[in-house]
Structure 1
Amino acid sequence: MKFKYIFLAFIGFFIFSCGQKKSTEGQTLRIGVSMLSLQNEFVLNVSQSLEKYAKENKVELIVVDAERSSLKQIEQVENFINQQVDAIILNPCEFEASSPAIIKAKKAGIPIVNVNSSTKEKPDAFVGSDDKESAKLAIEFIAKKLNGKGNIVIIQGYLGQAAQIDRDLGAKDALKKYPNLKVLATQTGEWDRAKAMSLMENWIQLHGKNIQAVFAHNDEMGLGAAQALMDKNLKSSTIVVSVDGIADARKAVKAKKLDATILQDAENQGKNAIQLAIQLAKKQKPKNADILIPFQVEN
C-alpha cells in the first residue's frame, strides 16, 4: 500500500512537471527595450522597426525612453531585471556610462543585445553599422566635390556616445589622405537641429565664405546647418553632408538643400536585434552575434 502511494505521487509529480514545462514553453516572450531618445527621428525609426518585428514574432515589447540619460538607462535595465524579462535590447546613451547596464543584465542571467550603438562592456550580441565607415564616406564625398582642397567644419554628435566617438575617429582617419582639407572648427550640436543651426550661424559670423563644406554627424544637425547657410545665401557655395538617411534628409537631398546623406538602415537594425534577442532568450546560439549593416551614400 505504501508503494502504491509512492507510485501515485511520482506519477502526479511527473504529470505536473510536464504540464509546467509545456506552460513555460508556450509563454509569450517579453523583451525590454531602452532607447537613447525617442525625440531623435532615426532612433524612433529603429524603435518602430523593433515594434514591427516583435509583433510579427508575437513577442511582447516593453519600450522605454532613456531621454539621453545613461543613469536613467541603467535604472530602466534594473527595472527590466526586476520584471524578469526574457531579454533586453539596449540602444546605449553613452559608450562608457551605459556599460553598467550590460554588467547588471549579465549578472542577472538575462541576455542583452545592443542596437545601433555600442558600449565599452561587450553585450551578448550587437546590431548596427560601422560609424567610422559613415564618416569616411562623408569625407570622401566632400573631398571629391572639392577636389581635395578647402575648408570644412565638423558638427559632432552628443559627446561620449559611441556614434560620436567613432564618426569623429573615422573623419580624422579619412582626412589624413587629404592634407589640403583644413578643419576650421569642430563642436558638438548634440544631435539637435536647432543647436546645430545656432552653431552654424556662429561659424558663419566667424568664417563667412571661408567654409566650403560641412560634415554633420547626423541628419538633424546637417539640416540645421544647411538652413543656417540658406538663410545667409551661402548654401550654393557650401557642401553639406550628414549621416542617417532620415526622411527629411532624403527629401532635402532631392530638393538640393542637402548634398548627401549617408544612409543607415534602421529597418534592418531593428529586425536583426529582435531576431537575436529571441534566439538568445530561447538559449539558442546565433550564427552571427555581431551584425554590421553597411552604409550607403545617397546624393
Structure 2
Amino acid sequence: MIGRFTRAAVAVTALGALAATAACGVDSGDDSSGDGDGGKSKALKVGWSTIYLTPSWMQQTDKMIKDDVAKLKGEGKIADYQVFNANGDTSQQIAQIRAMIQQKYDVILVDAGSSTALNPAMEQAVNAGITVANFDSLVTSEKVVRVGTDQKEWGRMMGQWLGEKLGGKGKIIAFNGPAGVAVSEERWQGAQEALKKFPDIKVAANVHSEYNLAPAAQAFASAYSANPDIDGVFSQGGALSAAALQTLVKQKKKMVPITGENYNGFLKLWKEQKANGFSSLSTAQPNYLGVIALRAAVAKAGGATVPNQIMVPLPKITDDTLDQYVKADQPDDSYPIQPMPQPEIDKLIGK
C-alpha cells in the first residue's frame, strides 16, 4: 500500500562517496557473491535501494524479491544481491545509488523517496550502462523502467462501486490520506471522476488522516459524530477503512459500505461483519511490483526489449473473494496478496 508512509520530496546535492554506504543500512540478500562469468551470459550484480524497509508492506516486498532472486540465482542469472535501506532519508538514497554506480552494479532497483530528487542519480546510472528499474513510488524520469499502478484508477474503481452500491444516492464521508500527498490526491481525483456520474450522492465531509490506525480512528470518529446519517464511506487506505469500520462496530451503528485496501486488520473486520450486512470492494498496491521490476530489469540487462513504463492491473477483493486474501494467522498490519503467476509477469514485461 502506498499509504505505508508519507513521502516528501527533498532537494539534495550529489553525495557520491563509496564510504557513504557504511551509513546506508545495507542488508545483504544472502552471503553469496560471484563474478557472474560462469555460463552463457553474465550473472548479474543486483542492488535494491528502498526509502524505507521497516513498514510491514516493505518487509513483505523484501521477502518476495529475495525469494525471486533465489530462483534467478538458481538459473544462473543473478550472482549477487544487496538491499540498501535509506531509513527515510532521500539524500542517503542518492548516496546509495551513486555508490552502486561506482561499484559497477548491473541492475539497480529503486523504491523512491522522492519523485524528482533521485532523477539525476538514476539517470547517471543509466548513462553508465546500468539497468535501472523503479517501482511502487515512482520518479518522473522517463529514462528508467517504471513499474506501478494507476492511482487515479484506484479511486475511480472505488468511487464507481460505491455509487452503484448506494443506488446512485445518499451521503458519504470521503476519508483520504494526508492533504497534499500525491497518492492521496490522485486517488481522490479518480473517485471524484466516478462520483460525478451519481449527482445525488453528496460528500458530507472530506476527512484527511495519516495512514495509521490511531490517528485515523480519531479523525473518522469526529467526522462521523457530525454526520451520523451517512450512507457510505469512500476510504482510500486500509488503516483508514479499518478505523471507519471499527467506529461503526464499537458504536453499534448500522453497517454502511466502506471501500478499502488489503490491510489485514480491515479484512478481518470485514469478514467478521459480513453476517451483519457489511460489504466492501478493496484493492491493493501489490508487493509483487518489486518482482515485476526485478524480472523486467534482468530481462533488459540480458538484451531483451522491455517497456519503459509497466502499469500493473489493480487486484479486486470482493465479498466473494475475501476468503482468498484475509489471513487470520497474520498480524493486522500485514497486506495479504495473491502472487502474480509468472506467465502474467512475462506478458507485462513483453516476454
Alignment TM-score, normalising by the size of structure 1: 0.77
Are the aligned partners of 2:110 and 2:133 in contact in 1 as well (CA < 8 Å)? yes
Aligned Cα root-mean-square deviation (Å):
3.1
In structure 1, C-alpha distance between the alignment counterparts of 2:229 and 2:92, rounded to whole Å: 42
Q: Residue 49 in 1 paired to residue 69 in 2?
A: no
Are the aligned partners of 1:94 and 1:119 in contact in 2 as well (CA < 8 Å)? yes
Structure in which a larger fraction of residues adopt helix: 1
Which one of 243, 246, 252 corresponds to residue 269 of structure 2? 252
Instruction: Report matched runs for 1:127-206 at 5 Å.
Output: 127-157=147-177, 162-205=182-225
Deviation at 1:274, TM superposition (A): 1.2
Aligned counterpart, 1:215: 234
Q: Which has the larger radius of gyration?
A: 1
Deviation at 1:278, TM superposition (A): 0.9
In structure 1, C-alpha distance between the alignment counterparts of 2:317 and 2:258, rounded to whole Å: 13
SS in structure 2 of the partner of residue 255 of structure 1: helix
SS in structure 1 of the partner of residue 174 of structure 2: strand
Spell out, residue by residue over 1:208-251, the C-alpha distance to the aligned partner (whole angstroms, 9 max, x if none).
Answer: 313332222221222123223333333x34322123x2444433
In structure 2, C-alpha distance between the alignment counterparts of 1:30 and 1:202, rounded to whole Å: 52
Aligned counterpart, 1:15: none
Are the aligned partners of 1:91 and 1:116 in contact in 2 as well (CA < 8 Å)? yes
Cα distance change on mapping 1:40 and 1:46 into 2, 3 Å: same
SS in structure 1 of the partner of residue 228 of structure 2: helix
Deviation at 1:195, TM superposition (A): 2.3
In structure 2, C-alpha distance between the alignment counterparts of 1:252 and 1:52, rounded to whole Å: 30
Deviation at 1:123, TM superposition (A): 4.6
Deviation at 1:101, TM superposition (A): 4.6
Are the aligned partners of 2:207 and 2:223 in contact in 1 as well (CA < 8 Å)? no
Are the aligned partners of 2:151 and 2:186 in contact in 1 as well (CA < 8 Å)? yes
Equivalent pairs counted in the alignment come to 276
Instruction: Report matched runs for 1:1-299 at 5 Å.
Output: 22=37, 28-58=43-73, 59=78, 60-157=80-177, 162-205=182-225, 207-234=226-253, 236-243=254-261, 245-256=262-273, 259-264=279-284, 266=286, 268-286=288-306, 288-295=307-314, 296-299=316-319
Spell out, residue by residue over 1:100-145, the C-alpha distance to the aligned partner (whole angstroms, 9 max, x if none).
Answer: 4533433444222121232222252122222222211111121122
Counterpart of 1:156, as a letter, is: N
Are the aligned partners of 2:142 and 2:308 in contact in 1 as well (CA < 8 Å)? no
Q: Give the unaligned 5+ runs of structure 2.
A: 1-34, 320-351
